[in-house]
Amino acid sequence: MGAIRGKNPIVAGVLAWLVPGLGHLYAGMRARGLVIFVAISLAFWTGVVIGGAQSTVSWDTNRWWFAAHVFTGGYTMLTMAIGKLPSAMPSYGKTLDLATIYTGVAGLLNILVILDAIGRVNAQATVDTPARKAS
């Protein structure tokens, strides 16, 4: 846990938002970061494969779920860019519903990951302060 010393909790949170697990990797928690990366990436990209990039992560399709998608940060931006390509096909019906749930749940889980990365870096910084060591 000494690897966390000198790390900024805000940077950990932003990195966790951009790519799930990256905030934990920044904090020196490789195994935890890898598990988080695999779990959330698998859920998100499975949803995109099921429903397609054009309509799965779209403000126009479902605004409430899009609010959840935003918390996957870099994945959402990349999927929206792919959805703008001429070859992107829209999705309808049950496949769109299932895809939206997969990607939305990934975003909601990433909220917890972001908070965990911030909390772990912040807690370690608090433990390592000289005032705490002196007492």
pLDDT at 133: 54
C-alpha closest to that of 43 among 100, 116, 4, 123? 100
Contact 117, 23 (CB under 8 A): yes
**Averaged pLDDT score across all residues of the chain:** 87
Which residue type does 48 have? V
Would residue 135 count as lying in a domain? no
Percent of the chain with pLDDT over 90: 61
Residue 92 in domain? yes
Alpha-carbon separation of residue 92 from 47, 100, 101, 114 (angstroms): 13, 11, 14, 31
123 is a domain residue? yes
* Cα gap 20→23, rounded to integer Å: 7
Does a structural domain hold residue 39? yes
What is the extent of the structural domain holding 118? 2-129
Residue 134 lies in a domain: no
* Residue 52 belongs to a domain: yes
d(CA 27, CA 121): 6
Say if residue 132's pLDDT is above 60. no
What's the confidence (pLDDT) of residue 2?
A: 45
In a domain, 17, yes or no: yes
Q: How many domains does the chain have?
A: 1
User: Is 100 inside any structural domain?
Assistant: yes
Q: Taking a C-beta distance cutoff of 8 angstroms, is the pair 27, 36 a contact?
A: no
pLDDT digits (tens, 9 = 90+) for 93-131: 788 889 999 999 999 999 999 999 999 998 876 766 565
